[in-house]
Chain A
Amino acid sequence: MNLLDHRPGTSPVHRAPLGVKYAVLLVLTVVLVAWRQPVVVGVVLTGVFGLYLLARLPGEFLAPWRRGWPLLAFAGVARFASGVFGPVPLSPLDALGPALVVLAAVFGALAAARLLVITTGGTELLDGLAHFFGAFRRFGVNPEAAALAVNVMLRTIPWVGAAVRAHAEALASRGLRRGPVRLMGPVLVATVGHARATGEALAARGLPAAPDTEDPAPRADYTRGA
């Protein structure tokens, strides 16, 4: 299963209004980013795990770590390096603490954000986003288009993962060793191709609907003609 796939359920977390979910996510993330004390991060992490328990998905808590640990480890290493080589050089032992805290904070924020996505159905997410982007209508934003763009982006992440696997297999089948440099070019080209195809598919379905054309006028017009 993919990292961001919807896990249907009937727990209080699943049933909570989307606005509440976003508010909780915002609070948790702000605390994690702004208040990087080991105790605070520990408490918030425990809270996030509690929410996973409440959603009856405790096994999912560590999934972002299993799938994305190189990225998280990189954040930790970067913080460690900036501690050791920074303007106020710390001993490696002293730099280790803040690095672990950053790692834990990023993981906590990721896990919380993921919980929101996997406990909310795609349609509800889309409606929520459209509602949110509605606030920017006066700045020329088409809420439906903006919401659809976010949704298509989320859906494309597993596709890119599949493209990486497919290209790695293609390389292996020709006896070539897979490596990030060899993979990057073809995967990038394939992704651009997929983006074009998706755009075409959306256009073919008349999506996103132009703003303020909620009335399917062509229908009435057609019955007159037939």
Chain B
Amino acid sequence: MNVIETRSLNKHFGDLHVLKGADLTVAEGEVVAIIGPSGSGKSTLLRCLNFLEIPDEGSQVLLDGEPIDPQHDDLNKVRERMGMVFQHFHLFPHKNVINNITIAPENVKGVPRSEAKAKARDLLEKVGLPDKEKAWPSQLSGGQKQRVAIARALAMDPEIMLFDEVTSALDPELVAEVLQVVKDLAAGGMTMVMVTHEMGFAREVADRVIMMDEGMIIEEGEPSEFFTNPSEERTQAFLSQVLHA
């Protein structure tokens, strides 16, 4: 069963054609890594999945096999089912850690405060920050912020998690702690799509790697095959650039 599927996904920003007919399927429990040069449309593809960007007309996004119509369907309900983690965390600075995590379950799903809090504490435990529930975002390191952001997304019990370059804004020594959390999630069977520049990580965790260039998916494959023996010339060029940087 595919959790998410796109068919001829197109997106224009004004005259700029950013996505040119991307077809993506993600099966339940699958971890898909999207790589590619900057400006290739990776993030836009990810953001079209939860309709932070509305795809052009004629594009199709299916969630659990159901096509979603951005004109008529309640996109808030759709987004509830997908967690997203951003490059720059976007924690809510006026809420402490635990309230960052409980605010959506309480106000969107109507989960009682005590229940939301108990769940938030479990999640903080899971991301390795059990002692930070009363801390403010401004007091956390980048890696800690990102782990709280992951917990915040998980608190909504999403069917799929979307990661948009979640380690790109981190100091190098803080990358591992965030990747560890993502790895744990993958091991727990979470369906995930991640845009990433961490090739080693993609290779280790992903079930499938997708290469994008100029708004198109140009190659995909199982990581061991993909990284050792890419068939597309552009993939080879990209990989040799990032791996030998």
A and B assemble together: no
Binding site for B on A (CB under 8 A): none
